[in-house]
Chain A
Amino acid sequence: MDPREAVDRSCRGPVLFLAFSAVAWLLVYSLFALLAGVKVHASGMMADSAWLAYGRIQPASQLALQFGFLVQLGLAVSAWILSHRGKTVLVDGGYLIFGGMLWNAGVTLGFLGILAGNASGLEGLQMPGKVLPLLFFGFVLVGLSLVQTNNRRTNEEMSPAQWFLFAATLWLPWVLGGSYLLIHFFHAKGVVANIVDWWFIQNFARVYLTFVGLGTLFHFLSALSGRQLVGRSHAQLAFWLLLIFGSVGGVSPGAPVPAWLPALSTVTAVFYFFGVIAAWVSLTRTISGASAADDADSLAYNLMRLAALVFISISVVNVFFAFPGPGSTAEFTTYGPAMELLFNLGFVGLILIAALYHIFPRLAGMDFSPRMTGIQTVAIVFGLFGATLPTALGGLMSGDAVLGSGFYFASLGDVFLFVGSLILFLNFLGAILFAMKNCDCLAGFCGKANTKEANA
């Protein structure tokens, strides 16, 4: 049997399970984001239901997006890349499934907890504190499988994609566990709780999500264009710069905390940008003038290039607004959350969806419907820009009327996003059902090799 096929066979069950849960959470996110937007226009709508108050569905939808969609799809894609890069079968796929179930249970409880009014009141960790251990252990189980897979790689040298994904897999449980202990166990008092919260937000976005996105980019841009990665030393520089300076900061200029915290945040944001440049140099030198080696991958390849472009644009704008002057203009406006959403969806989300387009047919033995894929991709791309750019601009202009019209456009974007994620969900579900019915590619679900073929 082709070794690649053996690797795919070992990934099949766990990766598809995580990816499917992720796509389902994306649908939940887009539905609730749409609802939240509608509540801003029609203030009397659903006003009798406490569960559907704006202040509850907004953080709940963020939880669905970040912990439900991004983290799970990131884990699915990491598992696939780490086993493929290491040319080894996925170790303990059962851990991955069990851990994924725990993680899903945690996200579901957190989601319902926020809707029921048990939010923690801290921006980055809105889910009730009791849910965090569940999430932690779920992630650790998945991480165990990934770390073991990486350790059993056949080639000793690790590629940049492997550094980034390996580091991300270790980093999230550390910051999640650390924040849990500090906030809910040691009961950080006063603004210290907020500082822990900002620390978590910064690490989650600037280290964890960025590393997942960049790791996936480093793997796929070279794999899909059929070129060797150029600039390994640049990637190394990027890795450490992003890690060191991404792990500290994220305090806004006017925050009621000691003044060195905002100042430190400005400093780290500037150094972080050098890391972004290093990664960018390595990536662009790798793919300059290249196109996808295989026509079937051209959609995934182009989406990834778009995501890379979004990444560098966001980074340039972010470093500008990290300085106190421009920073205090943008502070407290809808610019901040809009850019965060653009980062989540337009960079990490888009890369992971593109990776899914490449991985899915290899695992399910069955491609997505091409027409539906086209529609969902267009809808998601339109949706994510439509939902973020108007509120970002409106926030910067910060006049009431501009902000109002920004919200209207954003709702249009939310509609697109909802349609896109609905089609993606149906597409995924349909392809899986079809594959299960018509061929025995999925006979070896849950990583059990088909004994007949293995013997042959």
Chain B
Amino acid sequence: MTIGLSFLLGLLASSVSYFMLGLWWPVAVVVGLFAWLAFGLLDVKMDSTFTLLGGLLLVFCVSLSGMVFRASDQLSGLQYIDTQSEDGIEFRYPVPLLGNARYGEAIYKANGCAECHTQQVTHEGVVLDVKALAGEKNHAAVQEAISRFRNVTGRDASSGAGFPIGEWETVVNGANAADASKARNFLAAAGASVDVQVRFRGEDLTQHDLLNPRGRGWGKRRSVAQDYLFAEPPMLGSVRIGPDLANVGARHSRDVLMRILLNPKTVRKNSKMPQHRFLFEKADEDDQGQHIINGGYVPEGVKLPPDVGMVDIKIIKVLVAEDDLIEKGKPIVSVKLEETQMDIPSPFEGIIKELKVSSGDTVKAGDLVLIMDVAERYKPTKDAEALVDYLLSLKSANYPLPEAPINQPYTSSMPKPAPAPAEAAAATKADEAGK
């Protein structure tokens, strides 16, 4: 075997022992060197089927165990966890889907919603904020911790504008969670009297507003493996042609979701989402109530009834104007028919788009009078109801988890040196002001 190939196998051996077996790195290097030598001494040829088969099997096993089994072992311990909802009610998370929502998940799966929508809120690093609790002496301690942090991680960290007492100030922006915890340890070691807050940051988590035009506001925290404990299977998706749905239940109402499914353009004009009319059926004339959804407008021509006679009909007065919203049965024109005056009622409810006649015209039965946009009325099938139930159940990003908190300050574990009475009073005051 060539030097290059045996080196490669040695490299593989050392990375397996370091990354997968978790050996101390010098041991891993020795293992790699040993494997390099061993493979280099064996004169393995590529020309026997047996060699190829053996090598392939070895790689297959390493691949399967290294990627799938290891992850599976690590994740198999996931269990319920205690969390609390926005209004402070404690409950066990995640909640298994039941009944209609479970059926809705199957509808989501069958119709390939995951082809355009993800269900994973991501984050890009973390932000570390500190809030000074004491004055001058404290300032120096914070500075010391920050410069140590800079030296150790090589990351940029702001020393802030002097850390006014009681105000949150960002120290590290865009670090990973491990770096943030390092920074925290340095602060503790330097004896700084501060509150520390670690926030996940990223476009998914930032609310969309003037200051954050790229913010998407798709959830308050990132998604973690815990969220998908009961999903069958988790439909994480890989493309966002539409928005992320991990937290859609907290963003939209049932009515809006129904309208998006039926005709997305009635909610967002430039939506690219295809309509899902097959989840709905046309509502009957006499079907009324909240479940009726307006599926958009289609132009319909309104003609004079054909049974008014063969004679010329004179339009006395047009009773509506363009852009009027009129109800069904409301008179639209007055006509004169064999010396009797008569109002022609509107056959639809809708918006007048274009008038085809004006007062004084002479028309015949069956002639076009006007064009109006008529609302298409639909009612959801049980599939649509179930799908929307499922979507409304997706609120995972609202509930804080230990590994994915929603802006939780770690105040409790920071050691605080006893402040002088005057300073303490100032700090309390500032704290109150800060809140």
Contacts and interface: CB of A to CB of B under 8 A. Distances in A.
Interface string A164-202: 001100110011001000110000111111111101000
Given A240-B55, A257-B225, A195 B239 contact: no
B236 interface: yes
Contacts of B235: 121
A180 B273 CA distance: 32
Contact of A43 (B46, B233, B272): B272
A272 to B, nearest CB: 12
Contact of A182 (B49, B68, B76): B68
A203 B224 CA distance: 25
Interface stretch (B111-119, B152-160, B185-193, B416-424): B111-119
Given A53-B274, A236-B46, A337 B67 contact: no
A260 B232 CA distance: 24
Contact of A248 (B67, B124, B227): B67
A244 B59 contact: yes
A43 B234 contact: no
Nearest to B235: A121
Given A47-B274, A334-B241, A264 B67 contact: yes
A25 B123 CA distance: 40
A47 B275 contact: yes
Interface string A346-357: 000000000000
Contacts of A328: 122, 124
Contacts of B239: 332-334, 336-337
A332 B238 contact: yes
Interface stretch (A54-62, A88-96, A134-142): A54-62
- Scoring B47, B59, B274 by chain A CB atoms within 10 A of each residue's CB, the highest score goes to B274
A256 B278 contact: no
B288 interface: no
B313 interface: no
Given A190-B228, A332-B238, A121 B114 contact: yes
Given A119-B110, A123-B238, A166-B49, A191 B75 contact: yes
B213 to A, nearest CB: 11
Interface in B204-246: 222-225, 227-241
B234 A191 contact: yes
A296 interface: no
Interface string A120-146: 111100100000000000000000000
Given A53-B112, A332-B239, A178 B223 contact: no
A152 B63 CA distance: 30
B47 A158 contact: yes
A190 B229 contact: yes
A94 B111 CA distance: 39
Given A163-B46, A264-B19, A255 B120 contact: yes
B397 to A, nearest CB: 11
Contacts of A54: 112, 115-116, 274
Interface in B118-139: 118, 120, 122-124
A320 to B, nearest CB: 18
B272 A40 contact: yes
Given A190-B229, A334-B239, A59 B110 contact: no
A174 B60 contact: yes
A298 interface: no
B21 to A, nearest CB: 13
Contacts of A119: 109-110, 112
A283 interface: no
B424 to A, nearest CB: 40
A337 to B, nearest CB: 6
Contacts of A156: 47
Given A56-B111, A240-B8, A332-B238, A256 B120 contact: yes
A257 B276 contact: no
B60 A190 contact: no
B112 A195 contact: no
Given A56-B112, A334-B241, A195 B68 contact: yes
A195 B241 CA distance: 22
A188 B233 CA distance: 9
A157 B274 contact: no
A222 to B, nearest CB: 17
A336 B46 CA distance: 35
A48 B227 CA distance: 34
B228 A47 contact: no
A153 B104 CA distance: 56
Interface in A37-73: 39-40, 43-45, 47-50, 53-56, 58-59
Contacts of B98: none
B4 interface: yes
Contact of B4 (A53, A174, A237, A403): A237
B407 interface: no
A400 interface: yes
Contact of A47 (B15, B74, B278): B278
A59 B112 contact: yes
Contacts of B230: 190
Contacts of A45: 274
A331 B122 contact: yes
A43 B63 CA distance: 42
Contacts of A53: 111-112, 274, 276, 278
A171 B64 CA distance: 12
A31 B393 CA distance: 36
A48 B237 CA distance: 25
Interface stretch (B263-271, B303-311, B314-322, B331-339): B263-271
Contacts of A190: 75, 78, 225, 228-231, 234
Given A44-B263, A157-B47, A237 B274 contact: no
Given A43-B271, A332-B118, A117 B111 contact: yes
B356 interface: no
Contacts of B223: 256
Contacts of B252: none
Interface in A279-334: 328, 331-334
B68 A50 contact: no
Interface string A339-374: 000000000000000000000000000000000000
A261 interface: yes
Interface in A407-447: 407
B49 A233 contact: no
A188 B72 contact: yes
A53 to B, nearest CB: 5
B362 interface: no
A247 interface: yes
Contacts of B225: 190-191, 256-258
28 contacts: A39-B274, A40-B241, A40-B274, A44-B277, A50-B278, A117-B110, A121-B109, A122-B233, A167-B56, A175-B60, A183-B233, A189-B76, A195-B72, A196-B68, A199-B64, A233-B2, A236-B2, A247-B60, A248-B62, A248-B63, A248-B67, A254-B120, A254-B123, A256-B120, A264-B67, A332-B240, A336-B238, A404-B270
Given A240-B5, A248-B63, 4 more contacts: A56-B112, A158-B47, A236-B2, A254-B123
A-B pairs with the 8 shortest C-beta distances? Answer: A55-B112, A254-B122, A117-B110, A247-B63, A47-B275, A121-B109, A47-B277, A193-B233
